[in-house]
Amino acid sequence: MKRFYLILCLATLGLRLTAQTTPPFKAGDRVVFTGNSITDGGHYHSYIWLYYLTHFPNRRMEFFNAGIGGDVSRQIYERLDGDVFAHKPTVVTLTFGMNDTGYQNLKGAKVDSVYTAKVAESLKSFALITDKLKQHPETRKVMIASSPYDETAKIKTTPLRGKNAAMQKIAAAQKVTASTNKWDFVDFATPMTGINQQGQQTDSAFTLEGSDRIHPTNDGQMVMAYTFLKAQGLAGKSVAKMTFDAKNKKIVLAENCNVTQPIISTESVKFTYLANSLPYPMDTIPSGFGQPQKAQSMALKIIPFTDEFNREVLQITGLQNKPYQLTIDGKTIGTYSGTQLGEGLNLATITSTPQYQQALAVMHINEERWAVERRLREYYWIHYSILKPKGMLFNDGDATIDSLQKYGKKDFFVALTIPTYQKARFKAVRSAWQKEIDLLTNEMYTVNKPVAHRFEITLVN
């Protein structure tokens, strides 16, 4: 318990010190998240979208994954037109630096000189990116300081000393550029590094970055989503809050919801509840980056997401200090004492409620959309990372398949991706996948609309 609160306090402090702000997304926004493999194979953008899907169900928007594994700033610059602005974004985020600083294991005097050269090279291309972004005044820009490289966890992978400090120099340049151009800036690095270091005080193997020290596992991706949503000023917005005074038979508060047809006494409270939002569902299945890893829900141990973003409170004062049964739409949810109900129940943490189950359906549809989009991202990774340097960008002929199969014999990631590419090289297949994404997006914005539920809280005899 002590470790939890230390980490929580450090995370909150880190977020406050960076003083980062970026306006919330609005209806009609087309948000393109640009980056490397941490974006390409990551979930933070999907988790952010899930918050908007559940908390603002009528605020329709679209998110796009524009990450390419292995990219450095030069490669990001070269695909801005075809892979980022082709989506006609209203908002573009940009994160880079992990690959730019390299993966050399150096010691002594060479460390500083090599990293200095790599940072300088990266920032040259960042200047080109900046010029390109300025050509799109219609698009809001959000610079994101990359999630950190974890040098301090006591795990099997040998740490690359000095890498994270070099990444921080790139982040500092992003922050200055954002300030100069009046763009937004969000810092993933500072709070995540703080959480890692605090966690390692009691568990030396603790890390948000996974076994390779690079790619945040799903709990780390959720920390990134939390950091972004907090920077948008969305903390403290309740899913809903209902307060009843059983003794005086009245509704005291109905926040972000409508409460109708009340029948209130100290023996039972019955009403119809229609919220404006859904609770935020948490995935409890370990997954990510091709192998089972930490689940998204594990982030709740280290960030106060529930308290700040996921409060659906039912409070009934004036009840007898006896057990009461809560049913919703005739389904028994649980039995709670009058004291518990007087203090308030956070329904968002009760996974059996119909509104939580509805939110789970939204989550699973969103994850299915993410999975289909990932197939397209694998196709573009093959082209931008493997074929473009060979002068074969968007050449999907039979000769390309032969070339890739030969290349795959010495590159595990290419070999792993070839089955997807063999399908995606046909335009009709890519079009079908995009239609599936569009269909799933439409379904998300159908399924996410809250519906009315009948609550009954009755004294247990």
Residues 6+ apart with CB under 8 A from 386: 404, 407, 411, 414
What gap in Å lies between CA 151 and CA 158, rounded to an integer?
Answer: 8
Q: Please state, in angstroms and rounded to a whole number, the distance separating the CA atoms of residues 283 and 286.
A: 8
pLDDT value at residue 18? 47
**Domains of the chain from N-terminus onward:** 2-231 (3.40.50.1110), 240-276+311-461 (no CATH)
Relative orientation angle of helices 2-18 and 218-231, to the nearest 10 degrees: 40
Share of the chain above pLDDT 90, in %: 90
* pLDDT of amino acid 289: 54
The pLDDT tens digits for 143-159 are 999 999 999 999 999 99
Residue 304 near residue 8 (C-beta atoms within 8 A): yes
Mean pLDDT, residues 207-230 taken together: 95
- Per-residue pLDDT tens digits for 252-280: 999 999 999 999 999 999 999 999 999 99
| pLDDT tens sequence across 93-117 | 999 999 999 999 988 778 899 999 9
What amino acid is encoded at 301 in this protein? K
213 phi/psi in degrees, rounded to 5: 70, 5
| pLDDT for 291 beyond 60 | no
Q: First-to-last CA distance in the chain?
A: 37
Distance from C-alpha of 123 to C-alpha of 66, rounded to nearest angstrom: 20
Distances (CA, A) of 57 to 52, 371, 413, 442: 7, 22, 38, 12
Rounded to 10 deg, the angle between the 427-447 and 412-424 helix axes is 90
Q: What is the mean pLDDT of residues 341-349?
A: 98
Query: Closest Cα partner for 370 from 218, 149, 162, 257?
Result: 218
Higher pLDDT, 306 or 12: 306
- Residue 138 has a CB neighbour count (10 Å cut-off) of 8
pLDDT over 70 percentage in the chain: 94
Residue 17 has pLDDT above 90, yes or no: no
Concatenated DSSP letters of 26-46:
-TT-EEEEEESHHHHS--HHH
Rounded to an integer, the average pLDDT of 436-460 is: 98
Cα–Cα distance for residue pair 456/92, rounded to 1 Å:
46
d(CA 85, CA 436): 22
Decide if pLDDT at 287 tops 90.
no
Q: Which two tokens stand for residue 127?
A: 């200047």
Is residue 48 over pLDDT 90?
A: yes
Please choose, from the candidates 25, 97, 45, 29, the residue with its C-alpha nearest in 3D space to the C-alpha of residue 227: 45
